[in-house]
Structure 1
Amino acid sequence: MQITKEEFLARTKVISKNTLLETLQIEFVDFGDDFLIAKMPVNSRVHQPDGVLHGGATVALAETVGSFAAELLFNLNDVFVRGIEISANHVKSVKAGFVFARAKIVHKGRTTQIFDIRVTDEADNLISLCKLTTVALPKSK
């Protein structure tokens, strides 16, 4: 199934309502043949008590962008996609602005997929490096 960038970005806004994506204000901003990018504001909603971006919020952003990237690979009428493992190395803190997660496919299997997800700040500094494994399973008929 081919979808235009505009159709995909509009669809994500609709299906994000009343979900963690809306709570964290995650917004998809771009995609191409082998990547998907989303952004999230860094503010008190996603801070640790000491005022820096919480690693859990970073991982939620990474898993979100990776899972949506996996969904772009498949016909969702036939399969559903779930994240089955994620790891994250947090290398820099950030207090304000936006962070961007760019998911890039590393392995595109029929059942499992692996994504490299780089989370950067507005100056393109690496904040976290994440790896997500997803599984695509057939829907019951």
Structure 2
Amino acid sequence: MYIKDQPKEEILAFINAWGGETFAKTLEIRFTDIDVENETLTATMPVLPRIHQPFGIMHGGASCVLAETMGSSLSNIFIDGEKYFGVGTNINTNHLKSKKDGTVTAVARFIRKGKTMHVSEIEIRDEKNALISHTTMTNTIIRK
């Protein structure tokens, strides 16, 4: 079964409920859009004091969690989930701008989508569309 074959609203409801209590839910990551035709996934995350580092800005690890959540979810949406699952094997994030509060929006898209490996790009932007961080992520697609 391919998650991508479901109606958009059902995909978003499914992935927002995916996995029960997870790190993504702890950070209040919320999937807001999926474009199946262009193979992109969008989510938001609030920037709250609990995800700050000691200097009062968003911790880089929070950006990485958001990016990895996006890249992994993108891969698992576009594979046959009854036969395969995708797991992250490499992530590289460049933190480009700090963020103290508000909301960030992440968009994930494939750079390469092969049978056994996916490489995705995840951009995290603020409310003014300024680029906060840029990530590339590799997922290995494993047979169950």
Shorter-chain TM-score category?
A: over 0.9
Q: What residue in structure 2 maps to residue 75 of structure 1?
A: 80
Contact 1:79/1:137 (<8 A) preserved:
yes
2:112 is aligned with 1:107: yes
What's the % identity of the aligned pairs?
A: 39
Q: What residue in structure 1 maps to residue 136 of structure 2?
A: 131
SS in 2 for 1:11: helix
Per-residue CA deviations over 1:70-127 (Å, capped at 9, x if unaligned) read 0111111100110100000001001000111100111010000100110101111000
Structure 2: distance between partners of 1:51 and 1:27? 23
Detail structure 1 runs of 4+ shifted over 4 Å in the superposition: none
TM-score (norm 1): 0.95
2:18 is aligned with 1:15: yes
Structure 2: distance between partners of 1:96 and 1:16? 27
Task: Determine which of 17, 27, 43 is the counterpart of 1:38.
Answer: 43
Structure 2: distance between partners of 1:13 and 1:118? 19
Task: Determine which of 4, 25, 28 is the counterpart of 1:25.
Answer: 28
Question: What stretches of structure 2 of length at least 5 have no aligned partner?
Answer: none
2:103 aligned partner, one-letter code: F
Q: What residue in structure 2 maps to residue 97 of structure 1?
A: 102
TM-score (norm 2): 0.93
Shift of 1:16: 4.7
More off after superposition, 13-22 vs 88-97: 13-22
Contact 1:16/1:22 (<8 A) preserved:
no
Question: What stretches of structure 1 of length at least 5 have no aligned partner?
Answer: none
